[in-house]
């Protein structure tokens, strides 16, 4: 199994134009590893905030009776895309 650092490097190199990547624990919202980011993109803040987004979507799906899982989420901003990909394990 690849290390967190190796996986983050692979994500950064395979997604053209990426400026940061993070592996986040869903239960706590804490970043287990980050790569990139900077003064314009605090990946630890993004990790916690986007965890709240995922939790909200899962609650909404539950209220709607949707028995399915989230594959990924894309949030488009004026100058950035935030791609959230859920993984198990």
Within 10 angstroms of residue 34's Cβ, the number of other Cβ atoms is: 20
Q: Is 3 left (phi over 0), alpha (psi -120 to 50) or beta?
A: beta
pTM above 0.75, yes or no: yes
Tens of pLDDT, residues 3-60: 888 989 998 999 998 999 999 998 899 999 999 988 888 999 999 999 999 999 999 9
């Amino acid at each position: 199994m690849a290390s967190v650092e190796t996986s983050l490097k692979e994500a950064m190199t395979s997604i053209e134009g990426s400026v940061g990547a993070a592996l986040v624990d869903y239960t706590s919202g804490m970043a287990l590893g980050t790569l990139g980011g900077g003064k314009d993109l605090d990946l630890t803040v993004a990790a916690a905030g986007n965890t709240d987004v995922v939790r909200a979507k899962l609650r909404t799906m539950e209220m709607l009776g949707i028995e399915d899982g989230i594959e990924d989420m894309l949030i488009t901003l004026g100058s950035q895309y935030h791609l959230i990909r859920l993984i198990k394990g």
